[in-house]
Structure 1
């Protein structure tokens, strides 16, 4: 067994609340609350959810005791991990880690929740397992080099997420280090996720993440039952590092392991769009408010991004100027900028109003995005952006190094709760919203994870009132 595989397996198998600082434990609980809120809204609102749930049902993944967030029915653990993982990523509103350029919670939390339901683990066991998953996934992406990994067409949230999901589930199954390494070896054959969705706005991006959550759960389960995976999952000749990136740096996967907590570098999104758009959106919203900019007076908007971000949300320009659906809009800097300038912000409900809106699209076509040296200099530590708005009355410009929601500019407790309330309030009564938020934030002290998740289920009267 190679050193990276051995050390990550030992770390993931041995992590516990005694070895984790209190602020890291609390931050993880906040991320769980954010994840559940997003998944609940996506269950009701995401275009892809009905087909996803129907497909899982046809495959026989319903009928168990595990909770799919927002659904009245029970599902198998694999079905719950798949659907919850996809839902958590369906709005593109989920948390991010800048240097690894991925979304940590979406594949990891659903796998951990399903494993906790399987084993009866309590919150004090759940949170360390999730943190072990975060640390595994994030460090693997940093070792690959996320830009190189993206350039090969891979989606690191999913390709690295399957290993984080296996680590989280494996810890809840009480795997030892040797079993955890075998779980990683099984997950290696399940690591997948193509960026081809950017071409046509396909729904495969959230599916990648649900698949990673389910496969991580499967890998840990099979390892627990004695199924053999490859021993050198990461550094082997055909292992993860060599097969998925041209110039990996394996040392980054274990640098500071157990001492430097990458969990504290996870940011929470204030806008439901690609994270690379957020610094520029912050700048545009600030400029609009400070200078009383009238969208009808705008002649041109210039956005500067890190090159990796520009490739995802700025190019090809013709496509970004003409989004055909929500996914296209979320990955169009021009469209997001146009909405923010018209609305003074960007929320989930804005997509329904602005996709296909003639005035929004007219403004969208006046937005130009390009790689920017100042933003590139901040990358990958920060996903920075610059915005310049040219109007009939003047030119206004702002640079944002650290977008809102990043660890050094984190959402306040009130802002995070407001995001949660906005997401779930259309589908749960106020008292239930408050109970769910309170118990999720204090999930470390919960003894029955399934009971907490059942709070996301609508009662029949609530379903009827919502028109479902």
Structure 2
């Protein structure tokens, strides 16, 4: 191992966490607000899921001082327990942001920033800044790892992986809200390297159904970051070079390889949060471009749904290498993991879209899961590989082993009324790389309305949008934002 002669990468990231509001471009702050609101929407929308009720009860059991809000619980608990529960719920519907079509981690900065802002009665500007800084650190850790690769022309997932690296962004969010000096955060990141959930084989290529953690224990990841931050605040010390050692933390996360230069490349000038996609559907991002095209098809082509005889949906290599996409289940049992399995069932999601069901947690209601009309249509829908995306993804992963994949596109062949239709699209709604699809306030406000219908009343929804839109003017998050979040039931 080469011993660093200057500041370590860990120290440089800790220094970056002291970035001032005026040094974050206005466009980044504006998009950051959308990401914050979107993450809150995802958590609020999930409050009635069986899995969410479980994590709410666990938060209540561990309790602690009344510091922070847990979505849907009706009581405040210790900040660390609130961050654990809220991060878990924000990812429960698979509706949270997706970075370069590979990972979701905005929720960690939002969950930790919110909990700490409540605990410390901090202002809204610090919550926004914490969410952005946490995202940037987690994005750089993500880009420093290789989750996907092509070998001999064949796509493969890393056999081992972990979202545990996002515990570092979680700790950074605490540091930003608390106004820490870089040295303390450097120690916290060193501690998190010990505490973060390690790599595990998620069996993405062969799994037919998820366990309750899906592909990562989001609550535990947030908890580890909060714990590392709390210990550093009390004076615990950690290694100052955990992101420089080889093998080290990057390898411990179990990926196919590491590109450590990505950790600090363009730090403070490249803002990766602007390249994360927001999602209109409670499904895996790999389904979204197809779902956009499917929803538009009947009206665009004047074809009634009843006339659709068959539909082939061509998928990205990452999707098609996943068994749940390649061999979709013919039914989804009404269990606590139904939203997880449903998010990866392309025919089920496509049938819901064709039948005009508004997206949201209601896609996984018991009556919807058992609807004969949905499954009759789903049986006519198949999946296949997309040769165009195979070539694009292979080229991208060779150039960027950490993955900077921008396009999943929709590519469908539909047979209806004796005719064949080929439907294609470049990007999905919520993708930031095209002005026609980039998320804006109308996009996220619309998602709030459909996802939280019956969970948060219309007046509270309007207030929530107003507060987040003007988050820099909020003097005390605990007094202004938190009471609105506590209304979700």
Counterpart pick for 2:214 among 205, 209, 217: 205
In 2, distance between residues paired with 1:388 and 1:332?
18
- CA spacing shift, 1:218–1:251, aligned 2, 3 Å: same
Counterpart pick for 2:54 among 51, 54, 64: 51
Q: Which residue of 1 aligns with 2:399?
A: none
> Which whole-Å deviations, capped at 9, do the CAs of 1:159-179 have from their partners, x for residues lacking one?
232111111112222333332
Q: Which residue of 1 aligns with 2:86?
A: 84
Counterpart pick for 1:361 among 352, 375, 398: 375
In the TM superposition, residue 280 of structure 1 has moved relative to its aligned partner by: 1.1
> Which whole-Å deviations, capped at 9, do the CAs of 1:30-77 have from their partners, x for residues lacking one?
22112222212211x22211111222323x235522111333211110
Contact 2:208-2:323 at 8 Å conserved across structures: no
Counterpart pick for 1:151 among 120, 134, 158: 158
Contact 2:68-2:118 at 8 Å conserved across structures: yes
In the TM superposition, residue 150 of structure 1 has moved relative to its aligned partner by: 4.8
Contact 1:61-1:78 at 8 Å conserved across structures: no
Choose between structure 1 and 2: higher helix proportion.
1
In 1, distance between residues paired with 2:148 and 2:39?
25
1:7 corresponds to 2:12 = yes
- CA spacing shift, 1:335–1:305, aligned 2, 3 Å: same
1:16 corresponds to 2:20 = yes
Q: Which residue of 2 aligns with 1:64?
A: 66
Q: Which residue of 1 aligns with 2:190?
A: 185
Contact 1:326-1:355 at 8 Å conserved across structures: no
In the TM superposition, residue 425 of structure 1 has moved relative to its aligned partner by: 4.2
1:398 corresponds to 2:401 = no
Q: Which residue of 1 aligns with 2:35?
A: 31
Counterpart mapping for 1:34-433 below 5 A? 34-43=38-47, 45-58=48-61, 60-98=62-100, 101-147=102-148, 150-155=157-162, 158-192=163-197, 194=200, 195-196=202-203, 198-205=207-214, 208-243=217-252, 244-312=254-322, 314-317=324-327, 319-324=328-333, 325-343=338-356, 346-352=359-365, 353-379=367-393, 380-407=405-432, 408=434, 409-433=437-461
Contact 1:56-1:62 at 8 Å conserved across structures: no
TM-score (norm 2): 0.86
In 2, distance between residues paired with 1:83 and 1:405?
26
> Which whole-Å deviations, capped at 9, do the CAs of 1:176-200 have from their partners, x for residues lacking one?
3332222222222233375358543
In 2, distance between residues paired with 1:301 and 1:292?
16
In the TM superposition, residue 212 of structure 1 has moved relative to its aligned partner by: 1.6
Counterpart pick for 2:476 among 442, 448, 458: 448
> Which whole-Å deviations, capped at 9, do the CAs of 1:343-389 have from their partners, x for residues lacking one?
27644323324313333223323322233122234441223231211
In 2, distance between residues paired with 1:314 and 1:412?
31
In the TM superposition, residue 8 of structure 1 has moved relative to its aligned partner by: 1.8
Deviates more, 1:127-136 or 1:172-181: 172-181
Give the total of aligned pairs.
Answer: 453
In 2, distance between residues paired with 1:259 and 1:96?
21
Matched position secondary structure for 1:387: strand
Q: Which residue of 2 aligns with 1:466?
A: none
Contact 1:95-1:105 at 8 Å conserved across structures: yes
Matched position secondary structure for 1:304: strand
In 2, distance between residues paired with 1:164 and 1:150?
24
In 2, distance between residues paired with 1:206 and 1:74?
28
In the TM superposition, residue 446 of structure 1 has moved relative to its aligned partner by: 0.5
In 2, distance between residues paired with 1:332 and 1:216?
32
The list of structure 1 runs, each at least 4 consecutive aligned residues, that deviate by more than 6 angstroms after superposition, is none
In the TM superposition, residue 84 of structure 1 has moved relative to its aligned partner by: 0.9
Matched position secondary structure for 2:241: coil
- CA spacing shift, 1:175–1:377, aligned 2, 3 Å: farther
